[in-house]
Structure 1
Amino acid sequence: MTSTDDTAGTGGTGGAGGIGGTGGTDSGAHPRFAAALRELGLDDLHTHVRRFPDATRTAAEAAAAVGCELAQICKSLVFAADGVPVLVLMDGASRVDVELVRRELGAGKVTRPRADVVRETTGYAIGGVPPFGHRTRTRVLADRSLLEHDVVWAAAGTPYTVFPMAPKALVVHAGATLVDVRERVS
């Protein structure tokens, strides 16, 4: 099975530790993401966005910053299915099986796009891609492994910010389809 290492340069996210924030709408979240929270009626999440002095670009960095298990991270990973961007939400301890994504989408080929394509599609840099609030509407797949936790943390649009959310709510707000695309370890 074809896989991809999802830990480096992923949507920087954190894990379920103490929930804190800066309060108000000046949460440190990316302005586009902050606007998405308002549009989705999730204004209360602004107070739960956590900003860190060091980057949380990788799932491991985010888990260490928040103080949680790696699997409590929600990575937002952009792929290209026959050249069309698709977002895959995966727990931080797992890797995406690209062949399973290809089959799920009925695509001929699934690859990782260049960083400029990720930014152009989502409006965010790699390491800060949130699960929703993107510049361009894309298809979203969420691996079922995310549902194994009460709370997961995801990037808030920058490599320094994360926010907590119940995984079922995250899947709904992202408009994601639940799938099984996690690489199986033999």
Structure 2
Amino acid sequence: MQTSENLDALPESARRVALMLRERGHAKPVVMLPETGKTSAEAAAGLGCEVAQIAKSILFRRREDDAPVLVIASGANRVDEKKVAAHVGEVGRADAKFVREKTGYAIGGVCPIGHATTPVTLIDADLFELESLWAAAGHPHAVFNLSPQELAVLTGAPVVDVALRSE
């Protein structure tokens, strides 16, 4: 794994995230995984952590106004769209073009911060059961480490139950 001490070695989108994190006082570096971290399982395997510790960023499209809705969920959870809708209004899936246009990132590298269009954001409450999280840093191979509390401060987002639970 390569860290962001040398910002010039990072892909442009990951470099932007590293600089943004630094500006916001986040001291931990952006890490480049040798293999892709496009899925939570891939990222967890590359980092040697639990899948639950991956703070995956999933973008939805709010139906009433086409606004981007970002849900930052535990990698172990599926997101319950009905629970999301109860907080922000009815949502639908976002395609790759919408994700790139609204976030500035490709799917698999969507960072919780620094979006082209500021999204309505929700954080999965299950993330707060963990001490350490890993989130995408603007590129499918780039991640950064943070605590759930740091995630809440960086995003300013409410912490809610968004996990799909089996009855």
Q: State whether TM-score is above 0.5.
A: yes
Q: Equivalents in 2 of 1:24, 1:148: separation in Å?
A: 33
Aligned to 2:123: 142
1:8-23 equivalences in 2 (<5 Å): 21-23=3-5
Identity %: 45
Q: Contact 1:27–1:50 (CA<8 Å) still a contact in 2?
A: no
Give deviations 1:128-150, integer Å, cap 9, x for gaps.
00111112211110010010111
Aligned to 2:20: 36
Give, in angstroms, the shift of residue 27 of structure 1: 6.4
Q: Give the structure, 1 or 2, with the largest relative contact order (CA under 8 Å, sep 6 or more).
A: 1
Q: Say if 1:71 and 1:61 are closer, same or farther in 2 by CA, change over 3 A.
A: same
Secondary structure of 1:136's partner?
coil
Q: Which runs of 5+ in 2 are unaligned?
A: none
Q: Say if 1:27 and 1:145 are closer, same or farther in 2 by CA, change over 3 A.
A: farther
Aligned to 1:87: 70
Q: Contact 2:108–2:139 (CA<8 Å) still a contact in 1?
A: yes
Give yes or no for the alignment of 1:25 onto 2:7. Answer: yes
Give deviations 1:85-139, integer Å, cap 9, x for gaps.
110000000000001111111x2x3111111110111110000001111122111
| TM-score normalized by the length of structure 1 | 0.82
Q: Which runs of 5+ in 1 are unaligned?
A: 1-18
Q: Equivalents in 2 of 1:142, 1:111: separation in Å?
A: 18
Letter in 1 for 2:160: V
Q: Contact 2:67–2:120 (CA<8 Å) still a contact in 1?
A: no
Give, in angstroms, the shift of residue 50 of structure 1: 1.6
Q: What is the Cα-based RMSD across aligned positions, in Å?
A: 1.7
